[in-house]
Every structure is written in C-alpha cells, then in structure tokens.
Amino acid sequence: MPEPFDVLARWVHDARARTLEIYGDLAPEARRGPKLSIVNPPNWELGHVAWFMEYWVLRHVRGGQPMRPNADTLWDSMKVAHDTRWDLPLPPWAETMRYLEQVRDRVLDGLGAADGDDYFVQLSVLHEDMHIEAFNYTRQTHGYPAPRATGETACPGGGPHPGDVDVPGGTFRLGATGDEPFVFDNEKWAHPVSVEPFSIARAPVTQSQFCEFVADGGYRRRELWSEGGWRWREIAGAEHPVYWDRRDGVWMRRHYATWRELEPDRPIIHVNHFEADAYCRWADRRLPTEAEWELAACGLGERKPRFPWGDSEPTPGLANLDASAMDTVDVGACRDGDSPYGCRQMIGNVWEWTSTVFGPYPGFVADPYADYSVPWFGDHMVLRGGCYVTRGRLLRNTWRNYATPDRRDVLVGFRTCR
C-alpha cells in the first residue's frame, strides 16, 4: 500500500528542510562552485530539486501550469547538458530558495487531491533525498565544511570485524517483491537466479587494510589492474585514494574541510571500481556479484526481509544512516544490524561496489520517470547498501544504486569475497 498522506506530508517537510539547510549555509562564492565534470553547480542543483517536484506532482499529476516560464530549459536534467549548467541564466539564490518553498507549499496544500498523487509525491521526496546525498559529494569534492550531523549518537560498538561468513548456494529470488509499498523500476521484479556457495567478508575493507595495498605498491603494479583500470590510473596519475595525503610519514585523509589521520578500523571510502578491483587482485579476493550481495543480506528464507536485520525501520543501533554521525564509523559497529549470515553494515556506512554491470531485470518496464534507469544501463556498475548520509526511507535490501567505474566522489567502499 502507498504511504499514508500524513507520512508523506512529514517526508515533504523533512526533505525540504534538509535541502534548505544543507545548501543554505554556502558562502556566496560557493553557490556556483568550480566547473567540474563530476558534480553540479549548487545554484543549478537547488533549482532542479524544486523543478522535479513541480513537474511531476503539480504539473504531471495535477495538471497545473509551470510556475516559471523557463523552468524546463533551466532544470530538466535530461535536456540540459551538464557542462552548460554553470552558464545558464539562473535566478538569484534567494529567488531559487523561494521557489523551493512555494513548490513545497503547493504540494502540501493539495496532497491527495489527484489520483496518483501519493506515488509522485513519494518519488519526488526520494529524488530530493538522492540530491541531498549528492550535494554531500559536492561539499567533499570542493573541500567545503561538513554539513551538520542530524543525530547525537552514532552506532554503538567499534573496532575491526575480520573474517568471512559462508553463504550456502541455491536458487534465490533477486529483486523486489510485490509487497513493497514503493520500488523503483530497476528493482522489478524478483526473479530466480542460481547462486553457487560462496564466502563473503563480514565487513567492508578498512582504511588500514587498503593502506597495506598502497604500501605494497598496489597503484604501480600493472598486473593488479584491469585494462580499463590501468588506463584510468595512468590518466588520473593515481598513487593512492583521492582524498589521502602523506604528511611527515603519516597518511591523512580529508573529510570535507578537515584533515585527519587515518582511522584504521573505519571502511575505506571514495575509491572507484577500478581501485576496488585492483585491491581484490592484490588480496587474492574478488568483488561479490549483485546476486551474492543481496543473498548475503537477505538469506534464503521464503520471505525476503526489508533489511538485513528484519523489517523494522533503521535506527542508529542498526545502521549508520541519515547523517546521524556525519561520518563513517568503525566496521565493527552496529552489530544489531547483522544479516542472517553475520555480515555487518550491509546497510549504511559506505556504499559497496559489486562486480555486476547495471542492467534491467527480466521483463523490465520503465516507470513514468523513464530516465531514472534506462539511460544508465550497460556502462554503470551496481552499488548496494547505502552510506552514512543516505536516508533510511530510501533503502531496502533490493535497492540498486549505480555509478560509472571511474567515480571517486561517491561515498563508496567495498567488501570482498574469497
């Protein structure tokens, strides 16, 4: 069943409040930002979030007229080329902020007034949640200060969590089931896949483990890299993870605007698929397939749980999500969130690369927002699990994220299989 309208109203308020907060503290010179191929200009992205909700809820469902005469030419992400977004005649910052507030208020005023309203309001909120997460990438990329944490406590526990768990093989139904209240088109629908028995790490690869790979010349050893990975490494000149720097013999990492020494038991983050794949060769390991990852998270029971720990909603004791800590936590934290096989942090902390190319499931049919999945099939890799700023309402065991294998700005790490 769709979410009740009082829940949707809270979601709309909550998402828009976080958007206004996470963008609202930017200094004037940071609102446009440097022109880079991997992030959006903040003043464009802010308007795009408002436009998306206006387009799908107020216009597509309710039949309203555009609130701004040039909105589609400014903020339709599939029609406005990325490199042109810094040069558009965008409205002043304060005017864009007002546009966000006006769209929110109109959506709330008519909530439930039109057939299909609940679906498209939920779609718009979850879309906004994704852009809030993406703007964390932007702040990290540019070295802006970290946004405010939303909670006072992080996941309990800490330290390392070494070793593997054995997962029995069998026929597993990969994908979402019809009892989910809302799923994206690329999750539809659960279908049988055969999975051989495998062993998978209890936790993601840590900073100290990845540091050993760097110290052993991992970035300079051609035999560890795929053809595409080595080509990327040579062009990028990569010798270590993107936000690391060695100072006076000590490895440091930059977390937004702050440099700190490596935290040995926290997961490696901001590594791309090529780097994860090279590490696996060095360690005589491999990345899990998407089906292996989901099986390790769900188990082989007759009914799929929504999360590794069951169906209860995420809390700080179960997963590091929702910007509660505004950083990663040790891989040994959140033991109450373990999967049926004993894998920890399969939801939250860092996204996890898989070895699977992003593509449609059998019988795929695009949802009304057809550009959500279709344009990215074939050249993106599947990510799973969410990270420390992902909203808990966005996630479930079947949720599929995706990125090109060269992306290092995404809040992503990986776990390995033996």
Helix (H) or strand (E) holding 356: strand 351-357
pLDDT of 152 higher than 80: no
| Number of domains the chain contains | 2
The confidence score (pLDDT) of residue 359 equals: 98
307 phi and psi, to 5 degrees? -130, 165
Q: Which residue has the higher pLDDT, 210 or 38?
A: 210
pLDDT of 125 higher than 50: yes
The confidence score (pLDDT) of residue 254 equals: 98
For 215-246, letters b (16+ CB in 10 Å) and e give eeebbeeeebbeeebbebbeeeebebbbbbee
pLDDT of 394 higher than 90: yes
Q: Are residues 133 and 164 part of one domain?
A: no
310 pairs with which residues across the strands? 307
Q: How far apart are CA 155 and CA 157, in angstroms?
A: 7
Average pLDDT taken over every residue of the chain: 96
The confidence score (pLDDT) of residue 2 equals: 56
Q: Are residues 134 and 34 part of one domain?
A: yes
The confidence score (pLDDT) of residue 1 equals: 44
- Cα–Cα distances in Å, from 349 out to 253, 306, 388? 17, 17, 4
Q: Give SS3 for 23.
A: helix
pLDDT of 354 higher than 80: yes
Please state whether beta strands 258-261 and 250-255 pair in parallel, antiparallel, or not at all (unpaired). Answer: antiparallel
The confidence score (pLDDT) of residue 4 equals: 79
Encoding tokens for residue 19? 């958007």
The confidence score (pLDDT) of residue 70 equals: 94
Q: Which residue has the higher pLDDT, 154 or 305?
A: 305
Host domain of residue 358: 149-418
In tens, the pLDDT along 328-352 reads 999 999 999 999 999 999 999 999 9
Q: Are residues 289 and 165 part of one domain?
A: yes
In tens, the pLDDT along 202-257 reads 999 999 999 999 999 999 999 999 999 999 999 999 999 999 999 999 999 999 99
CB atoms within 10 A of CB 270: 23
Average pLDDT over residues 78-106: 96
Q: Are residues 164 and 101 part of one domain?
A: no
**In this prediction, what percent of the chain has a pLDDT beyond 90?**
93
Express the helix, strand and coil content of the chain in percent, nearest 5 each: 35, 15, 50
Q: Are residues 202 and 273 part of one domain?
A: yes
Q: Are residues 156 and 105 part of one domain?
A: no
Q: Are residues 171 and 209 part of one domain?
A: yes
Strand order in the sheet with 381-384: 401-403, 381-384, 351-357, 412-413
**Of the residues 142, 173, 205, the one at which a domain ends:** 142
Q: Are residues 322 and 179 part of one domain?
A: yes
Q: Are residues 224 and 239 part of one domain?
A: yes
The confidence score (pLDDT) of residue 183 equals: 96
